[in-house]
C-alpha cells in the first residue's frame, strides 16, 4: 500500500480555520492526510507543539495564519513567522527535512487555497517518505 503521511496542522481561529471550513462548505475536495488543531492565533503555536508533533510520529506539520497585516490580534502572525525560521534551522539540524514543516497564510475567504495547500503538502511529504524522527528518538532513549 502506498505510504499515507499524517500531517498535523495548526490553524488560527479567525482566518485559516475559517478558510478550511469554507473549503468544506464549498465542497472542495482535498487529501485526507491533514489533521487540524485549532488555536486562537498562529502566535500561539509554541515550537514545542511542532517538535511534539514530529516526536509523536507526524510526517509533516503545517502552520497557517492570517495574511501579513490581517492578523486578528494585529501581529501574532509575525511572531509566528520569526519562530518558524528559528524552528526550521533547529529541525534541519535534527535531520528533519525543511519541507516537512510549512508556514502559510490562509485568509477566511481562501477555501480553495487551503484545499490546494493540503494537497500540495500531502504530495510533498508523501514524496519525502515517512519521518523517522520518532524511531530515532526512541532508539536514543
Q: 94 CB contacts (<8 Å, ≥6 apart)?
A: 133
- Which of 5, 16, 17, 60 touches other proteins (CB under 8 A)? 17
| Residue closer to other proteins (CB basis): 57 or 129 | 57
From CA 37, how far away is CA 56, in angstroms rounded? 15
- Which of 5, 16, 45, 121 touches other proteins (CB under 8 A)? 45
Q: Which three cell numbers stand for residue 110?
A: 481562501
- Which of 1, 2, 32, 138 touches other proteins (CB under 8 A)? 32
Q: 35 CB contacts (<8 Å, ≥6 apart)?
A: 6, 7, 8, 9
14 binding other proteins? (CB under 8 A): yes
Enumerate residues 85-124 that contact other proteins by CB under 8 A.
Answer: 107-110, 115
Query: Within its chain, how far is the Cα of 135 from the centroid?
Result: 21
Burial category of 28 from C-beta neighbours within 10 Å (exposed 0-12, middle 13-18, buried 19 and up): middle
Near other proteins by CB under 8 A, which window of 36-44, 87-95, 98-106, 124-132? 36-44
Binding site for other proteins (CB under 8 A): 4, 6, 8, 14-15, 17-18, 20-21, 23-25, 27-30, 32, 35-41, 43-49, 52-53, 56-58, 66, 69-70, 72-76, 79, 83, 107-110, 115
Amino acid at each position: 500500500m502506498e505510504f499515507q503521511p499524517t500531517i498535523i496542522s495548526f490553524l488560527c481561529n479567525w482566518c485559516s480555520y475559517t478558510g478550511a471550513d469554507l473549503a468544506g462548505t464549498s465542497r472542495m475536495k482535498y487529501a485526507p492526510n491533514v489533521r487540524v488543531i485549532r488555536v486562537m492565533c498562529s502566535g500561539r503555536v509554541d515550537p514545542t507543539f511542532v517538535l511534539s508533533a514530529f516526536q509523536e510520529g507526524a510526517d509533516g506539520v503545517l502552520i497557517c495564519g492570517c495574511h501579513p497585516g490581517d492578523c486578528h490580534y494585529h501581529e501574532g502572525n509575525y511572531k509566528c513567522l520569526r519562530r518558524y525560521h528559528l524552528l526550521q534551522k533547529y529541525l534541519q539540524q535534527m535531520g528533519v527535512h525543511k519541507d516537512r514543516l510549512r508556514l502559510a497564510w490562509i485568509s477566511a475567504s481562501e477555501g480553495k487555497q487551503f484545499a490546494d495547500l493540503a494537497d500540495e503538502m500531502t504530495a510533498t511529504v508523501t514524496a519525502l517518505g515517512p519521518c523517522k524522527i520518532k524511531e530515532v528518538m526512541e532508539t536514543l532513549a
